[in-house]
Structure 1
Amino acid sequence: MALGNDSSLTEFILLGLTQEPELQLPLFFIFLGIYMVTVVGNIGLIILIGLNPHLHTPMYYFLFNLSSIDLCYSSVITPKMLMSFANQHVISYAGCMAQLYFFSFFVIDECCILTSMAYDRYVAICKSLLYKVTMSHQVCLLLTVGSYAMGLVGATAHTGCMLRLSFCDGNIINHYMCDIPPLLRLSCTSTYINELVVFIVVGINVIVPSLTISISYTLILSSILRIRSTEGRSKAFSTCSSHIIVVSLFFGSSAFMYLKPFPAGSLDQDKVTTVFYTIVGPMMNPFIYSLRNKDVQVALSKTLRKKLFC
């Protein structure tokens, strides 16, 4: 079979997270459990925010979108990963490109939503008197639409550039998903344009948000330190700590993965890094925001009481 987009290439082989036979079954159940927790946690948070009017604020509006994105992009990746543990490694060429497109779309969306959440916390703490005006419904909607537009442009750029490549060095992808670095390693044509697009798109959607978030939290920290009461400082820190944890996990692992020359680093190392923001992150986010947020805890308690005593 001749391999290339202009030939008869119709499928790829995903090697999965590991090729050790004795690890396949344990890892299947571990990641199945993680996926089930991810689905239940994110759907639960979505429903909770939707059912409780006092959570209909900009902060929870963005959290609603974050949970929706986490649910979607985890579902783009994890089911195929689970199939690889069951020795079903084949993915069609069209399916591979579709997975790459939606993965890119949702990851970029998450970058932008996390940045919007940092801006929301900055306004809430540093410009509290103008919060309702600054973070109006129209502004929140504009930030959300902008986030999805950035995802659409970035995903189209990545996938469009990938479609122009020919794959002549085999069709075996040493990964559990159709990600950009392992696909570029299979190409027998120049990947210069692809790598340039990656650095531009990832740079815009990782470096710019990272700087924006860093500046926001520097100003927030400065404002918090000027609060005289210990209780006031503690309350202000508590509203930001969850977001800082999520941002550190997501941007740290994604920057390590993409902001480096593609020949550098082993694919096995890349797979482990990718697990953090594609599998672990979407599972942890609902719990990080729930366990460290009194508003969510109160809303959950009220909702459960209503359901139990109805």
Structure 2
Amino acid sequence: MTLQDHHGRRFTYLRLSITDACNFRCNYCLPDGYQCSDSTPHLSVDEIRRTAMTFARLGTQKIRITGGEPALRRDLPEIIRAVASVPGIEEVALTTNGWKLPKLLPAWADAGLTRLNVSIDSLDPRQFQAITGHNRLQDLLGGLEVARQLGFTGIKVNAVLMREHNADQLPRFLEWIRETPVTLRFIELMQTGDNHEFFQQNHVRGEDIKAQLLADNWQPVLKNTTDGPAQEFWHPEYAGRIGLIMPYSKDFCQSCNRLRVSATGQLHLCLFGEQGFDLRPLLASDETLDDAADFVRHCLDDKKATHALHDGNTGVRTHFAGIGG
């Protein structure tokens, strides 16, 4: 069984947030640091396992664990193990800011993690600290080396490009992946409810970078069914690849294949949607999971064909920490 909406899109990928807390102060997301605005407890390990079971029944094959920063949960290895144990879940991925990555990653790998995304918005230590509020670039780079030693393949590094902060470092990023076998994904800065001025000052069009890559003989990579929205490119002279996530590009939503569940059990049909649907009451026991699956199917009837970012409508999203971007 595979989830499908009225627009013919199939959903095999779930982004599952396990916390809205984050210990970084990235200028494009939480410039004032994490502010706890909701005392609702985060999903327990059992509720997370049942969420994975629900979506596996609906044909989900890949679950990405996100935050906030997932590493802030001390039970993260237990969470990974619970998700990885669910029949039908073939990939368990994690997106992290890299906090204590060299120390924590072996336990995550042992628990069943198969894919790793790390956010590195600059390769210049001073600029990295200015963007994130932390002087930890070398820890992150060391964590990537640990990941390679542990046998991780398809490692992805995320960078949000911003005109006034790191866009001039594109040549340095490209030189880095000449010898570094990772997929470097440039993410277009997205407008939220509270960053209008910052967005106007810093948005960089992904389509312009794509045109530059194609002119330099980078070639498109064919996508797998569980891949996210990134358009990837390879070049025979580079060990790494380039990915572009361009939510402002034409037909971006046409290939949407993922849904989202927040750290408090709200089902979100779109990153920029107007509301969440409370899935949590149906995660109380294994006996209610058929009802949970029916609930997800019913909610999918409300999924729109596209977001409204081009019209300046960002939905209710003020930042991405609570739903994992």
Superposition TM-score tier, normalisation by shorter sequence = under 0.3
Compare CA radii of gyration and give the structure with the larger one: 1
